[in-house]
A and B are shown apart, each in its own frame.
Chain A
Amino acid sequence: MLVIRCPWCSERDQTEFSYHGEAHIARPATPMDRTDEQWGDYLFFRSNTRGPHRERWLHAAGCRRWFNLLRDTATGRILAVYRPDEPPPAATAG
């Protein structure tokens, strides 16, 4: 079970958080202009990265705020934590 550093509450157990998938999936600005395939890409397709992965987490049993992790999915190592309004750090393997 991971220890995750919430940007607002510092280090807490993973049980306080919930995982919300890959981060930085941009919602199309004008969805009705998208083809079914383009819309399907946005809805369903994710990168399934082995290695550094940017992902969204929610401090559900805490401050109830969303933030992002850069986490190495192969090792479980958390490489960076950043707020939604911060630029994503470079993805280097950990």
Chain B
Amino acid sequence: MDGVTPILDACPVRRAAQTNRLAGGGGIDRSRPLDFRFDGRDYQGYAGDTLASALLANGVRLLGRSYKYGRPRGIVSAGPEEPGALVTLGSGAALEPNIRPTMVPLRQGLEAFAQLSPAGTGPDPLGWIADRFSRFLPPGFYYKTFSWPRRLWPLYERMLRKAASSAPVPEQRDANRYEHRYMHCDVLVVGGGPAGLAAALAAGRAGASVVLADENAELGGALIDEPDTPAGRAARAWVAAMVGELDSLPEVETLKRTSVVAFHDHNYLIAVEERGDSMVPPPAQRLLKIRAREVVLATGAVERPLVFPDNDRPGVMLAGAVRTYLNRYAVMPGQTMVVFTNNDTAYRTALEAAGAGARVTVVDIRPQPRGALVRRARAAGIGVLPGHAVTAVRGRRAVRGVEIRALADDGRGVGAAAMELPCSVVAMSGGWIPSVQLFSQSGGRLRFRPDVGAHVPGEPPTLNRSRPAGACNGSFTLSACVAEGLAAGQAAAGQAEAGVGSGAEIPHPPPPGTDDEEEPALFLPHVPGPLPGPLPGKSFVDLQSDVTVADIVLAEREGYGAVEHLKRYTALGMGADQGRTSALNGLAVLAGQRGVGIGALGHTTFRPNLKPVRFGAIAGPHLGPSFTPQRRTPMHPWHEANGAVFEDTGTWIRPFCFPNPGETAEQAVRREARAARTGVGLLDASTLGKIEVQGPDAEEFLDRMYVTTRRGLAVGRCRYGMMLNENGVVFDDGVTTRLAPDHFLLSTNSSGAARVLRWLEEWLQTEWPDLDVFCTCVTEQWANATLVGPLARDLLRQVTDIDLDPARFPFMSMRQGTVAGLPARVFRIAYSGDLSFEINVPARHGLALWESLVRAGETFGLTPYGTEAMHLLRAEKGFIVVGQDTDGTVTPVDLGQGVPAATARDFVGKRSLFRADMLRDDRKQLVGLLTADPSLVLPVGTHLTDTPRPVPPVPTLGFVTTGHFSPAVGRSIALALVAGGRGRLGETVTAYRRDGGPHPVTIVPPCFYDPDGERRHA
């Protein structure tokens, strides 16, 4: 963040005095001052502050600029619903963008930055222009304006993205550590306000295992915002007593700073727990995966903003938030305050701010407010303007005053006469919005309650078990919150079939004196203009997405009057705050425009996650080597010690090649392949999948699973075969060895053993449970060192007691004996096409076997080789790799295996080979390719066409599946799948390379070396 200019005009002295901090009171610890930096300037706050409260204490109003219009924005709320100000924390590896300053506990040395439009800070010319000329920036503007010509859209998009204000993207790897935690409980209580505390204690006393999660650093919800009065102290004492008893219950776990962000099926909830505020070593966050038998949702309510012109100016705040800053943090956001409200609750803010020394005027939309709080405010000498509305906000970077007009005509307009009121803060309240997101996610239905002016939980979910209690249920009085919490907690504990305890007792009486009788609120969608025209200025509905009343009106006129359409057209509610404070106001404006009730509109879907969750938290510890299991063969230490270059093949780590000093990988591969053809090579083939199939019906079972029959296979003999899925597509291939009449060993692809085992089990368990067969994966029980090449027998003879005479140990057979003194199974199988012996020993002897062979091989020029030479050797022979030379469409017939006899035995997939489309002769078939330039190696995936100068769209003939330079053949070779390829042998077609244009290639049979297969019988 170097080079960022401070956004403040005034230049405060270093460690500016906390000008807005009250002399006493609050929950902060004045004995522990904390230094922090915001946007390059030093400030001081106290332990117990949030970043937001500390900034307000220091008089910092302007925290950033909005993303579309570049308008100045400041702090609006005191909680997780913050729609106004997002900041960036830290820099470098610790950079965290889009952080709500209201949720960041202040700590020593904290560093934060404003998020600005890229035009810069100070006077933001682009933003200024966007703001002034915003009538040219209606919703959908970019799509409407920049949609033509279409090919220029990428350019426009780059321009527009640059112009849009956004957070910096971290450029370094996140240095934080994250953990995952799985939790199981009888009752999860979401929210630690009065309802949640009561629910948790009721359930806990009943003996249930309880998890109580609250987003804030301190439990108690709204109660801890109470002023330092006898009633406020009683409220805090009640909270302390509740928390104390919860802490004493061993089966109750309380999690602070933990946001439940998602409610999934079968009561599976995801939460993010903030652990450290900072860097390593402690995990920054834990992602909690909670399975709860019952869930009590005590998620509370957020205050609803009022919609009036220029209601986004820094200093326009929610009234409840002003109260929080006053009482919890001892911060007076401004000495002159206009409280703008449609209900009674904001009068508490007025009373307490006046009590703390502020000059307060209340502007109340209601024509005749007469509630207890209103009477108290008047008695305290606070000016109340009933039937009035704020119609303009003065000041740009900070509130300087407001314009007030009388409402007329039942709120459909305002009068012409205006009066000005100077102020530095507007504390607004439009009522309260129950936080019903999790209830909705749980499958519960919402209903609109006109007296609350918002949606509340309706029909409960059928699949999940969630019980709303308290303010999120539309019950706002303290006594109702506590009563509902108790009832929900007891019921949940009972439902959870936990032990029966003393749950019937009421834990503690609610504190007295905080339930003033209130009069109903009066809801206006927004402050109207003087009839007939609108007021100047923008009335914001959604501060994060810069959506105004005018935008919604226009969207409705253009046909986007359904709630989900409106959301997508205007981006309403699509900010990081998920529309917590804006969605309802948007609905209200839309409903007013359409002339229907809000309840008739429905609501948009409350999707998980409720707040942005870091990728780091989702990934948790599953990074780097912990991302996926890594498998190493028993010979791995030798490979490492001898300079192997490794590659990942599935989960296995295998040597790619063994370069000598000064040798390139390509040179090494050619040397290794040459040795295996002319001398003797050594391959670590331990990764080969191995499955033992045993039982009286083993032969019958394998006969149903393989294309080639296993019947008549003698003990000690091996047979190659392909396994198909029921669609006739090649699924795996390998060699079956008969170890005993009722005992077989299957080899599978290196990455395929688990898949093949599951496949065998599926048929055994679900289709043929009558077959008496057991399958066991033994891949990791055996190490495999394979000697390959003309000298393989001579070398092996030095170290084995097995008779290697080709007459008695022929190709495709297995013998048991000792090799290098180790018990071994030796197979004569030739994946290279040359004489070879696959030596299998128990895995614990693998390294010893390898080292013995290397020693014995010194006089034979034994050359260890890796996977690349292995692939080259098999490619020279045209041996396929399932999944590389085949895909989900390739049958054994396509690979040249011939059509099985229709009348012979059935096997899985056989019938599909006879479907009409499977018999077409223009199917893609496996062929070889020879390039016109013998040195040119075709990359895998290269497409083939019939014509060298095609005109798009070009039909493709097929594609290259394997390409190598073959030292044994002395030229480039390739395998390919080509439409009707076997009928086109000798023809020349065109290979289209990604970089390099067309190249002629000739179609040949897919075997380049020893086509008669004589060498392997040597």
Contact = CB atoms under 8 A, between A and B. Distances in A.
Interface of A: 1-3, 13, 20, 27-28, 30-32, 34, 36, 39-40, 43, 56, 58, 60, 64-66, 75-77, 84-85
B765 interface: yes
A53 to B, nearest CB: 15
A65 B762 CA distance: 8
19 contacts: A1-B264, A1-B265, A2-B266, A13-B268, A28-B911, A31-B911, A32-B903, A32-B914, A39-B912, A40-B915, A43-B912, A58-B762, A64-B761, A66-B762, A75-B462, A76-B265, A77-B462, A84-B769, A85-B769
Contacts of B914: 32
Nearest to A18: B758
A31 B769 CA distance: 19
A28 B908 CA distance: 11
A1 B765 CA distance: 26
Contacts of B647: none
A52 to B, nearest CB: 14
Interface string B908-921: 00111011100000
Interface in B748-779: 758, 761-762, 765-767, 769
B727 interface: yes
A67 to B, nearest CB: 9
Contact of A32 (B264, B291, B906): B906
B268 A32 contact: no
B726 interface: yes
Contacts of A60: 758
A66 B268 contact: no
A76 B726 CA distance: 29
B279 interface: no
Contact of B767 (A1, A27, A32): A27
B996 to A, nearest CB: 41
A59 B970 CA distance: 51
Nearest to A65: B765
B4 interface: no
Interface residues of B, number: 25
A76 to B, nearest CB: 5
B263 to A, nearest CB: 11
A50 to B, nearest CB: 15
Given A2-B266, A58-B758, A66-B766, 19 more contacts: A1-B265, A1-B266, A1-B268, A13-B268, A13-B291, A20-B762, A30-B906, A31-B910, A31-B911, A32-B911, A32-B914, A36-B915, A56-B766, A64-B761, A66-B765, A76-B266, A77-B462, A84-B765, A85-B769
A32 B769 CA distance: 22
Interface string B82-109: 0000000000000000000000000000
Contacts of B462: 75, 77
Interface string B288-307: 00010000000000000000
Interface in B762-804: 762, 765-767, 769
Contacts of B758: 58, 60, 64
A30 to B, nearest CB: 8
A65 B916 CA distance: 36
Contacts of A85: 769
Contact of A3 (B291, B727, B762): B291
Contacts of B761: 64, 66
Contacts of B766: 56, 66, 84
A34 B765 contact: no
B463 A76 contact: yes
Contact of B915 (A3, A27, A39, A66): A39
B902 interface: yes
Contacts of A34: 911
Contacts of B902: 32
Contacts of B291: 3, 13
Nearest to B767: A27
